[in-house]
Chain A
Amino acid sequence: MSGHARERLNEDFSNPVRLSLMGSLRAVDEADFKTLKETVGISDSVLSRHLSALEAAGYVRIKKGYVGKRPRTWAKLTSSGQEAFAQHVQALKEITGLA
């Protein structure tokens, strides 16, 4: 690995909500919209906006479906999302002297 750890920080995760979403999703195989909303503590619209942005960047896969008649949305990290976030966390640890 070359360069200062600061250079390896991923700008896509500098936003607190996106960082929290990625951190939450890293702990699970997948999670539904409501669980993510409660875990991160944000509104539906904010969650929806940031999840869409992470999906557009290829870090998160969103699956929509129905349970009975109720629509439900699931999110999970893609393999590139897992890799990019692991690098970001590693860079954070190096900056703070934890690595």
Chain B
Amino acid sequence: MSSEEQMNADEQLAALNVVQQRMERASGYGAKLMGVYCVILGLLIGSLAALLQVYRPEKNFTGFIILTALFVIAVVAISLAYAKLYRSLPRGFSKLYLRGFFGSMALYMIAVAMLSAGELGWGVTALTWLVVAAPLCITGIVMVRK
């Protein structure tokens, strides 16, 4: 493409169609990558929320510390991998991610607050995992499908 040639209106619209299609193809990879990242992050946050019910800091402090450390390592690892692979993101996906992230974080906070309510059964613990992971996982699935 010559950078100096002027184009008429029809040519400009045609050129725009071409680059937008190319960019949509390129950002499709970014959408899938972000989707997978969201699902993994959601499952990790959900797992932490559920496992905190099992490894309660007042009962098993060592387990709690190991669990938290593993969680931090896993989140840092997937974030670094994502940053390395990330190249572009379709319009609106940043907001979509933030909505899913804050949704899962809000539910995680509720799950942490529930720790003071005493020990919960396995059913509630499993439900906690699913509910906390849901906003990010659903966001991720939507992104991958788009």
Residues of A within 8 A of B (CB): 9, 13-17, 19-20, 23-32, 34-35, 38-42, 46, 50, 67-68, 89, 92-93, 95-96, 98
Contacts and interface: CB of A to CB of B under 8 A. Distances in A.
A93 B87 CA distance: 31
B27 A20 contact: no
22 contacts: A15-B3, A16-B2, A19-B7, A20-B1, A20-B16, A23-B16, A28-B23, A28-B30, A28-B88, A29-B90, A31-B26, A31-B27, A31-B88, A35-B27, A35-B88, A39-B19, A40-B19, A42-B1, A46-B3, A92-B13, A92-B16, A96-B10
Given A24-B20, A96-B13, 17 more contacts: A15-B6, A19-B16, A20-B16, A23-B16, A24-B23, A27-B20, A27-B23, A27-B27, A29-B93, A30-B94, A39-B23, A42-B1, A50-B3, A67-B84, A89-B16, A92-B9, A98-B13
B145 interface: no
A23 B19 contact: yes
B130 interface: no
Contacts of A50: 3
B91 A29 contact: yes
Contacts of B90: 27-29
Nearest to A19: B12
Given A19-B12, A41-B1, A96-B13, A30 B6 contact: no
Interface in B91-141: 91-94
A96 B15 CA distance: 14
Interface string B13-34: 1011001101110110010000
B58 interface: no
Q: What's the dominant secondary structure at chain B's contact region?
A: helix
Contacts of B92: 29
Nearest to B2: A16
A23 B22 CA distance: 10
A31 B91 contact: no
Given A29-B92, A30-B88, A42-B3, A16 B27 contact: no
Contacts of B13: 89, 92-93, 96, 98
A43 to B, nearest CB: 10
